[in-house]
Amino acid sequence: MKENYFKKYPNKDGFFNEYGGAFIPPNLEEEMKKINDAYFAISKSHKFISELRDIRKYYQGRPTPVYHCQRLSEKYGGQIYLKREDLNHTGAHKLNHCMGEALLAKHLGKKKLIAETGAGQHGVALATAAAYFGLECEIHMGEVDIKKEYPNVLRMKVLGATVIPVTHGLKTLKEAVDSAFEAYLKDPISTIYCIGSVVGPHPFPMIVRDFQRVIGIEAREQFLDMTGELPDSVVACIGGGSNAMGIFSSFLEDDETQLFGIEPAGKSFKTGEHAATMTLGKPGLIHGFKCYILQDENGEPAPVHSIASGLDYPGVGPEHSMLKDMNKVTYDSITDKECIDAFYELSRLEGIIPALESAHAVAYAMKLAQKFPEKSVLVNLSGRGDKDLDYVVDTFGLPE
Ligand SMILES: *Cc1c(COP(=O)(O)O)cnc(C)c1O
């Protein structure tokens, strides 16, 4: 049953029903096809699978645990559990697909990994993977983000990556994507583009999802072992949607488990300071694929806001767009303020400082627990919050 879903979606042209596909220049089309064919040939081989399994275990520190939050559950009701992706090497789920992408690159004989980064999390994960495999790494980053996220710029440089400042337009994530694609197009033979989430043209949303499935496969078994049951609900935050696809993928066929994807409601829906793509977006094209998009009055991707830089993207993965239309996943949102409250609650009740992205999912789980005190909820804690400490304390201060 389950494997049927993965065979059916995406279809051979990369569509999740009407979403996804590859709307790209012809020279790129050929490269994407090559990556797709190579992915199918290599990733199913025994050698690739056993290499990746060893990397997961001995380098990344997997499986990451599932943890029952006793004090948080006592205070808010319900039974709240966390899948601890914050304990994955480099402190977030992103390394799951970066190690997979880099291993694929090595098998393809590529010399260099190219990517964009917004807050720097994807750049750091990819630079880590490049160091592991002895590959070159080039990260494109908007000048504005370089200033804002300087500790991550230093991490990338220490790991041996080249950071290319992007100086045109708004000098943030969207321009960084354009710049990284351009660099990739100049030398598609010896380089490979490694995207940061379940977005972009086919085959990226499929490849990234497949590498992130390890979260759901582990979590389902661990939860069953711990409780003898499946969770009543599973909650994950959504930027592009890779950590959410990773955990949801193991529960899509379980009618007793409800899935919740949580977007940033930001400061306010009225002023447009949010990134609630599923709640307020419309289908359209962005970065070579079709999905729900927050659009301005001219149909262009709208400027978005979230306190969590990993979530402020005006598009979303094509698979999530499909799952929304199918009503398989409920998409809802959490405000900046609710996110900060959850950030401190989890820190002070459990001794776990969550990434601001992940705190959106924690905040929603706290609400669910209050509403349904008899039910269990499994949160994908996508990353740790060390990167956010300065910002949170400077901006919001410490609670009493
Ligand atoms: C990048 C990031 C996200 C958002 O990415 P998705 O593809 O939506 O999972 C969420 N949490 C953390 C910790 C991140 O670094």
- What's the whole-number mean pLDDT along residues 233-242? 98
- What's the whole-number mean pLDDT along residues 177-199? 92
Question: Which atom belonging to ligand 1 lies closest to the Cα atom of 383?
Answer: 13
Q: From the CA of 26, how far away is ligand 1's center (Å)?
A: 31
Give Cβ neighbours of residue 224 (< 8 Å, ≥ 6 apart).
Answer: 230
Q: From the CA of 292, how far away is ligand 1's center (Å)?
A: 18
Indicate which residues carry an active-site annotation.
69, 93
Query: What residues does ligand 1 touch, defined as CB less than 6 Å away?
Result: 92, 94, 121, 197, 237-243, 310-311, 355, 357-358, 382-383
Q: What tokens appear for 233 in the block?
A: 């609900």
Q: What tokens appear for 5 in the block?
A: 């879903």
- Look at residue 36 and tell me whether its pLDDT is greater than 50: yes
Q: What tokens appear for 214 in the block?
A: 């390890």
Question: Which atom belonging to ligand 1 lies closest to the Cα atom of 199?
Answer: 7
Sheet with strand 191-193: strands edge to edge: 162-166, 136-142, 112-117, 191-193
341-397 tens-digit pLDDT: 999 999 999 999 999 999 999 999 999 999 999 999 999 999 999 999 999 999 999
How far apart, in whole angstroms, are the C-alpha atoms of residue 300 and residue 169? Answer: 14
Residue 2 has a pLDDT of: 61
Residue 85 has a pLDDT of: 98
Of all protein residues, whose CA lies closest to atom 5 belonging to ligand 1?
Answer: 239
53-95 tens-digit pLDDT: 999 999 999 999 999 999 999 999 999 999 999 999 999 999 9
How far apart, in whole angstroms, are the C-alpha atoms of residue 188 and residue 195? Answer: 14
252-308 tens-digit pLDDT: 999 999 999 999 999 989 899 999 999 999 999 998 999 999 999 998 889 888 999
CA 384 to chain centre: 14
Residue 148 has a pLDDT of: 83
3-state secondary structure of 321: helix
Q: What does each C-alpha distance from 28 to 110, 181, 190, 203, 283 come to in angstroms?
A: 16, 10, 14, 12, 23
Residue with the two structure tokens 């930001």: 266
Q: What does each C-alpha distance from 307 to 19, 141, 191, 203, 269 come to in angstroms?
A: 28, 19, 33, 30, 14
Q: Over the Cα atoms of the chain, what is R_g?
A: 20
How far apart, in whole angstroms, are the C-alpha atoms of residue 365 and residue 382? Answer: 14
Q: From the CA of 13, how far away is ligand 1's center (Å)?
A: 26
Residue 44's identity, in one-letter code, is K
What helix, strand, coil percent values describe the chain, rounded to 5?
50, 20, 30
- Look at residue 145 and tell me whether its pLDDT is greater than 70: yes
Question: Which atom belonging to ligand 1 lies closest to the Cα atom of 212?
Answer: 9
Of all protein residues, whose CA lies closest to atom 10 belonging to ligand 1?
Answer: 357
290-301 tens-digit pLDDT: 999 999 999 888
How far apart, in whole angstroms, are the C-alpha atoms of residue 1 and residue 261? Answer: 23
| Domains identified in the chain and CATH numbers | 26-57+94-205 (3.40.50.1100), 61-91+213-396 (3.40.50.1100)
Residue 400 has a pLDDT of: 83
Give Cβ neighbours of residue 171 (< 8 Å, ≥ 6 apart).
Answer: 142, 143, 144, 145
372-381 tens-digit pLDDT: 999 999 999 9
- Look at residue 104 and tell me whether its pLDDT is greater than 90: yes
Lowest-pLDDT range of 23-32, 92-101, 204-213, 288-297: 23-32
Q: What does each C-alpha distance from 273 to 88, 170, 267, 303, 305 come to in angstroms?
A: 31, 16, 6, 8, 5
Percent of the chain past pLDDT 70, that is, above it, reads 99
Residue 26 has a pLDDT of: 87
Q: From the CA of 236, how far away is ligand 1's center (Å)?
A: 10
Of all protein residues, whose CA lies closest to atom 3 belonging to ligand 1?
Answer: 310
The model carries a pTM of 0.96
Sheet with strand 289-293: strands edge to edge: 15-16, 19-20, 289-293, 282-286
Residue 1 has a pLDDT of: 46
Of all protein residues, whose CA lies closest to atom 1 belonging to ligand 1?
Answer: 310
